[in-house]
Amino acid sequence: MPFKTWGHDEVGYAADLNRFWVQGMHVNKTSDQAVTNSTTLVNDSQLLLAVQANTDYWVEAFVIYNAPTANDMQLAWNTPSGATLNWSNNGLALAATGSVDRVSRTALTAASTATIGGSSGDAICAMKGILRTAGSSGSLQMRFAQNTAGAGTNVTVKTGSQIILTRLKV
């Protein structure tokens, strides 16, 4: 949505600020969260943002993670009822053997679960997409798990990970 140009002596109201100037929001993860020996997706306790009904958003997620190469990682999203999400994970391809490897850019939807490669060290997944909410407001929340369960192993979403939403249409 473009910024409004006010004419001479035109008053800007609070609704104008919300509609034309407050276009983005973000959340920054302040503590690590791990999933141990499980392929069941769990909600990330911090990587979530409230979204409005009937609104389009550009979604960017900068996810710092650590997953063993034998276990890899699953990523998915919770969205409000009726919402559509078209996204790509832009993370290491499944079965990566290090932090420099092939990248997956598969087209995904709100119902999709992405699998990304582990590197046995910290790695980055730079997800991007477009969220279109329908008649329901709610939250956009990241979910994650191991792709292959491994006794005594963790997949961890690390401190400093972020979600950034930019409102495109209200």
CA angle 142, 143, 144 (to 5 degrees): 130
pLDDT of residue 17: 62
Closest CA to 146 of 71, 66, 96: 71
Mean pLDDT of the chain: 89
pLDDT of residue 169: 67
Q: What is the predicted pLDDT for the residue at 21?
A: 61
Quick check: 161 and 26 in contact, CB under 8 A? no
Q: Could you tell me which residues are beta bridge partners of residue 122?
A: 66
Of 17-26, 46-55, 158-167, minimum mean pLDDT range: 17-26
Give the per-residue pLDDT at 94: 80
Domains and CATH numbers, the chain: 20-169 (2.60.120.40)
- Asked whether residue 22 carries a pLDDT value surpassing 70, the answer given is no
This prediction has a pTM of 0.85
Give residue 152's region: left, alpha or beta (phi > 0; psi -120 to 50).
left
In the chain, % of residues over pLDDT 90: 66
Confidence of residue 16 (pLDDT cuts 50, 70, 90): low
Find the mean pLDDT for residues 100-111.
86
